[in-house]
Amino acid sequence: MSTGVLIVGLGQIGMGYDLALDPTLHVYSHARAFNQHPRFDLLGAVDPQPRLRVTFTETYAAPAFDDLDSALAELQPQVVVIAVPTQFHAQTLRRVIASGIAKTVLCEKPLSYDLGEARSMVEECAAAGVSLYVNYMRRSDIGVIEYKRRLKAGEIAMPEKGVVWYSKGFLHNGSHFFNLLEYWLGPMRSSRLLNRGRKWQDTDPEPDVEVIFGSSAVVFLAAWEEAFSHYTLELLSRNGRLRYERGGKLIQWQSARQDPQLQSYTTLAETPELIPSGMDRYQLQVAEQLARAMEGRDAHLCSGAAALNTLSSMNAILE
């Protein structure tokens, strides 16, 4: 039995990212992901722009509405995806809760730019019996899950030290890596501001900061989005190095081993192990994990509560 999905917001993550791309190779939008996944039925969408509604209907043969309440009443979705601009997340979520129709919500990150508002969103969902998830999609990637397994199994020596390069704002894009490191290494224990930096588009700070996750230290460094996008992570442990490149499309592990020429030295293997990644279909991976969660199976998703922890920790750094 399929589960009906309504998408609210037809911007890039809602529909636009993969419109011109081969659907057999790339799944970057909610629309394509829920259209392709056999567990879900893409019922329709909501967006104020007529042009986007027409494109959605022509592409996915499903209705598009300019009014959320009308879409909820007519389509009766079990899942609602909130992909509107961040400043409208809370009011959109409250309208979904008030309808009493959908009991599962997948919201874009961050939940809110305001910590108090984000906390209220999580509390209101809990009170209404609505399962809230936030689209930190890297948690659902097969390569990320495999590295988590290795950490849990003790195959990676702890603690680790690392460096993150991010651009386009600490809250907007840096939060992806912050949330990922919480998933791998544990919650933030402390932080140390290295450089306050600038604000991306005068709104989102871009600090350089050292963060202690569990027993591991990671430095976040801001790059320049206007020059080029750059999202990478390097983690060193006593038995090897993880390289998480190109936003996660390339994941490599280099084990430490005795140098073949210099017996007194330990070096990294010249040929790295490639850990398979599914980032070319990242949104489909999220849909798969959501299906698992709704079936009561183990799932790798970011809950609303976990996303609130991310936002709370990042706000503490910025204060």
pLDDT band at 217 (very low <50, low <70, confident <90, very high): very high
Q: Domain 3-136, what fold?
A: Rossmann fold (3.40.50)
Q: What's residue 265's pLDDT?
A: 85
Tens digit of each residue's pLDDT (9 = 90 or more) over 290-319: 999 999 999 999 999 999 999 999 999 998
Superfamily of domain 142-277: Dihydrodipicolinate Reductase; domain 2 (3.30.360.10)
Distance CA 82, CA 94 (A): 11
How many CA atoms lie less than 13 Å away from 159 in the CB half-sphere? 11
Distance CA 174, CA 181 (A): 11
HEC per residue, 64-114: EECCHHHHHHHHCCCEEEECCCHHHHHHHHHHHHHHCCCCEEEECCCCCCC
Helix axes of 175-185 and 304-318: crossing angle, nearest 10 degrees: 110
Q: Which residue has the tokens 């494109």?
A: 55
> Which whole number is the average pLDDT over 183-187?
98
Nearest to 319 by CA among 165, 163, 161, 170: 170
How many Cβ atoms from other residues are within 10 Å of residue 59's Cβ? 14
Tell me which of 78-92, 209-223, 255-269 is least confident. Answer: 255-269
What token pair was written down for 173? Answer: 């894009």
Tens digit of each residue's pLDDT (9 = 90 or more) over 128-152: 999 999 999 999 999 999 999 999 9
What token pair was written down for 75? Answer: 């389509």
Tens digit of each residue's pLDDT (9 = 90 or more) over 152-174: 999 999 999 999 999 999 998 99
CB 269 within 8 A of CB 252: no
pLDDT band at 50 (very low <50, low <70, confident <90, very high): very high
Tens digit of each residue's pLDDT (9 = 90 or more) over 250-299: 999 999 998 777 777 899 999 999 999 999 999 999 999 999 999 999 99
Distance CA 85, CA 190 (A): 30
Q: What's residue 281's pLDDT?
A: 98
Residue spans per domain, the chain? 3-136, 142-277
